[in-house]
Structure 1
Amino acid sequence: LRGLVLQALRNAWGICVSHGQLPPLPVPQKIVATWEIISLGRQPVPEYFNFAHDVLDVWSQLERAGHRPPIPAFWWVNSMGAEVKGSFEELGGQSRKAANVLGGTCGLQPGDRMLLLLPQLPERGLVSVACMRTGLVFMPGTSQLTAKDILHWLQASKAKCTVASEEVIPAVESIVSECPGLKTKFLLSPHSQNQWLSFQELFQTTSAEHSCVETGGQEPMAIYFSSGTTGSPKMVQHSQSSLRIGHTLCGSSMSGSFSFLPMLTSVSFSIIQPLTTYPITTLCSAPTVYWMLVQKDLKRCKFEKLLHCLIGGEPLNPEVLEQWKVQTGLMLYEGYGQTGIICANQKGQAIKPGSVGKGYYPMMSRWVISNWFNKEPVSVQHWSKFLMCVVKAFVVLSAPFKSSNPEKLTLELQDHVKKSTAPYKYPRKVEFVKELPKMITGKIKRNVLRDHEWG
């Protein structure tokens, strides 16, 4: 391991190796412990680090050497019961072939950016690992992005390549003339069409021999776009080390376990059924998913292997947290999404006047300002159960209240907020709507509500 040995494991292993060579294999527990030490700031981040070479290939080597039994590196299922799973060795071989398609066939260079417009399919992870091996910067998207979204992502990122599923082609073709930097278009299909290259066709004929590029720990690895709930989506860049070493504690591959990828069709299948059927120990999802799950009768479900439940991306209503604990016996722990931000002193750094305190970086889009009082939207949501937009609340009525007198109900809601929390937090205006505009992840589009109010 290049950076791992040169930096983090030099004292532990007492060896130094060059790029492309693997040292004598340590026990798996020592590898996991070392990544955790680095993640906690007790050892410096490696100068050179590549997740594919320094993590995935190491687990593959351990399996081949008999130091640990083979387990799936990934496990994908769909609503029809079809499964695709592969070991770390299989993932390594297939990702090397995919890397040759990207770097050899099409001549993409380290640092070039690639937009992934794919649903939750096995190829999505395969292409991501191939990007790591070639030094390409991948940008995870979804096949549900609109033409407007795709145009913004391509222009903002200056992407040179995209890999897309067939259903996205019309949207891409409608805006591709405005993206002259987009040189290569891969189609997830057995056959090429028009100016789209068949990824599967090239993959079948390319070599499985590939040497991973050397990447610095601080070099860019991926770019995530924010949800765009308050405006145009913003780019958030992750380095080779920040994305993978920084996610050690919940990153399955870092610890040599597998990632389970359900093909999302409905909550009842894509979440509940796998949790009761497969050996899943950690569930990480958006708060909206947990809200949908607690609407079911989870007490009848047996999540025998589930140990840890995480959320990220936005705050969670305390009632959902409590209902989840009552129905499953498990706590929900809040983390950060891929585009979250935090400002804090580094571990061990002395605190002095002027030091940045630990907490969320104050963004205007995350705070409600009314009559010179600041209040975080989630605190209002927890009490009044509706979204505050400066001095206005947009309310979706449940069935028992749909026939209520709007003026009377407005006064009741305002009075409820005044009694339940600080009086100044009550909404000066209330508008009843059929539904709130949401992203595909369930996050509320605050910018749409803002534009609705102010134009």
Structure 2
Amino acid sequence: MIPTIRCMRRFSAKSSVVNKLVNVLQPSPCEARETKLAEFFAIYNKQMGAATCSNIISDVISHLAIQTPENTALWTFESKGKAHPMLTYNDVYRQSCQLANVLTGKQYNLKQGQAVLVILPHTMKERFLLLLACLQTGLVFCPYDPKELTEIGISQRIRQLTIDCVITDEDNLEMVRHCTYNPLRPLTKGVIMKGSGSELTPVSWNHLIQTANSLDSQYTKMVNTNPNMPVMRFLSNKQNVIQYSQEYLSTRLIITALWLSKYKVPNLVWMTNRTDIMSMAPWLFGSSIFCFESENLKTMFDTLKNYPIDAFCAPQVNYRMLEDEQQQEEHKTQLQQLFSFEPISADLKAQWLSLTNLTIHDDYAAFNNESKLKYFPNNAHQMADHDFEEFEQQIN
């Protein structure tokens, strides 16, 4: 009877924290927002010590799948620019649970703490879903950008990140297959095929989505989470192993969400940065994430014109596209906010202001440092250890 009571208290605490967070991020006057924030962090910091709310993003997705199941959560594109069907919050919750079940099921049989190397484009919906699946199951998500893919890079990551499973798509299958054959240390391997009826030629590569579609759309296995357990691991550009804990991931997500909603809560956010933590932050305030890579300024503004995007968050390289345009034309969009995690020069800001009548908000670093001291004094030092590596990874 006692374990049942403890379990009920844990879920009650999670629900309380998630409800407070959702309430904080709703549109409200500045003074009311500060009061809500104080109430939220009073509960959140207390519960973090009890490990009841370390997986904040999965809890929020589960909450929104019940409260607003038909609201759009994710909009992604294939490499050729063809849009995938939009995923609702119910879709994201259901499909991530199916992937969680297949990763920990009989075919993959992965256990909490084991590491999954995911070699998928940043704009692929399965990358988001696999990250959520890993968070639910206690697996360690290890991302690798296909644009930087090399045989040496694959081998380094398998060895240095202690990889137990490799997942990729058809475009990168041959190179990954060549680097993952090791009879002395066999890896679990999965591939995401473009067509559900496709046949697999490589032996031992399981069709991940085909298997997932046949499984339960809820994940009910208990995972013993704690704030210090690893949830993400990757190699920096200096080949250092960087590892994020549950606590670091949750606090960084909350800070990023607060920054993106500081002036106004957006509806559809185009996230062009390649940092997985940052990309998921809009979900904390119930917004939709738009994920697409534009090659030039024309493609960028055509996209902004054709879709109801009201917030654009991008690194310097995207904003610098404006410098290459010889003749600036008026672009009619629904944009209301511009963001950058990196500092933008005054001249470039002036160009964008002239073109869009919007100011680029590039004060993330200052907001991040202020928020860590204000809201997370107990783990500010740990977060500082990772900040430089994370931005280095993003910029390059």
Both proteins in one fold, TM over 0.5: yes
- Post-superposition Cα deviations, 1:276-324, rounded to whole Å, max 9, x if no partner, equal 2222222222211111244335542123233132233xx5444323322
- Separation in 2, partners of 1:348, 1:173: 45
Change (3 A) 1:361 1:104: closer
Partner of 1:113: 115
Partner of 2:125: 122
Partner of 1:60: 65
* Superposition map of 1:29-428 within 5 A: 30=23, 32=25, 37=37, 44-45=44-45, 46-47=47-48, 48-49=52-53, 50-63=55-68, 70-78=70-78, 79-105=80-106, 106-119=108-121, 120-144=123-147, 145-177=149-181, 183-189=187-193, 190-192=198-200, 193-211=202-220, 213-214=222-223, 215-226=225-236, 228=237, 231-232=238-239, 234-239=241-246, 240-249=249-258, 250=260, 251-262=281-292, 264=293, 266-268=295-297, 271-296=300-325, 299-312=329-342, 315-334=343-362, 346-347=373-374
- Separation in 2, partners of 1:74, 1:179: 39
Look up the SS of the partner of 1:216 in the other structure.
coil
- Separation in 2, partners of 1:344, 1:238: 18
Determine which structure has greater relative contact order: mean sequence separation of CA pairs < 8 Å that are 6+ residues apart, divided by chain length.
Answer: 2
TM-aligned CA deviation for residue 107 of structure 1: 1.3
Partner of 2:278: none
TM-aligned CA deviation for residue 141 of structure 1: 1.9
TM-aligned CA deviation for residue 360 of structure 1: 9.9
Q: What stretches of structure 2 of length at least 5 have no aligned partner?
A: 1-5, 27-32, 261-280
Change (3 A) 1:442 1:84: same
Look up the SS of the partner of 2:374 in the other structure.
coil
Amino acid at match of 1:55: V
- Separation in 2, partners of 1:112, 1:349: 28
Change (3 A) 1:347 1:268: closer
Change (3 A) 1:269 1:179: farther
- Does structure 2 conserve the Cα–Cα contact (< 8 Å) formed by 1:113 and 1:139? yes
Look up the SS of the partner of 1:138 in the other structure.
strand
- Does structure 1 conserve the Cα–Cα contact (< 8 Å) formed by 2:61 and 2:283? yes
TM-aligned CA deviation for residue 30 of structure 1: 1.7
- Does structure 1 conserve the Cα–Cα contact (< 8 Å) formed by 2:191 and 2:206? yes
Partner of 2:30: none
- Separation in 2, partners of 1:110, 1:128: 14
- Separation in 2, partners of 1:335, 1:234: 28
Change (3 A) 1:194 1:208: same
Amino acid at match of 1:172: V
Partner of 2:263: none
Amino acid at match of 2:174: P
Change (3 A) 1:44 1:59: closer
TM-aligned CA deviation for residue 62 of structure 1: 1.1
- Does structure 2 conserve the Cα–Cα contact (< 8 Å) formed by 1:294 and 1:324? no
- Does structure 2 conserve the Cα–Cα contact (< 8 Å) formed by 1:97 and 1:207? yes
Change (3 A) 1:298 1:20: farther
Change (3 A) 1:181 1:300: farther
- Separation in 2, partners of 1:18, 1:51: 13
Change (3 A) 1:343 1:63: closer
- Separation in 2, partners of 1:257, 1:302: 22
Amino acid at match of 1:149: G
Partner of 2:276: none
TM-aligned CA deviation for residue 111 of structure 1: 1.6
Amino acid at match of 1:103: T
Which among 4, 17, 20 is matched to residue 9 of structure 2?
A: 17
Change (3 A) 1:210 1:284: same
Higher helix share: 2
Mean CA deviation greater in 251-260 or 128-137: 128-137
TM-aligned CA deviation for residue 335 of structure 1: 5.6
| Number of aligned residues | 337
Look up the SS of the partner of 1:252 in the other structure.
helix
Q: What stretches of structure 1 of length at least 5 have no aligned partner?
A: 1-5, 7-15, 65-69, 351-355, 367-438, 444-455
- TM-score, normalised by the number of residues in structure 1: 0.62
- Separation in 2, partners of 1:107, 1:360: 33
- Does structure 2 conserve the Cα–Cα contact (< 8 Å) formed by 1:155 and 1:179? no
Look up the SS of the partner of 2:146 in the other structure.
coil
- Separation in 1, partners of 2:42, 2:14: 24
Look up the SS of the partner of 2:163 in the other structure.
coil
Change (3 A) 1:198 1:129: same
- Post-superposition Cα deviations, 1:235-254, rounded to whole Å, max 9, x if no partner, equal 24242423433432232100
Mean CA deviation greater in 328-337 or 150-159: 328-337
Partner of 1:353: none
Change (3 A) 1:362 1:304: closer
- Does structure 2 conserve the Cα–Cα contact (< 8 Å) formed by 1:143 and 1:167? no
Look up the SS of the partner of 1:197 in the other structure.
strand
Amino acid at match of 2:172: V
Amino acid at match of 1:289: N
Look up the SS of the partner of 2:102 in the other structure.
helix
- Does structure 1 conserve the Cα–Cα contact (< 8 Å) formed by 2:95 and 2:129? yes
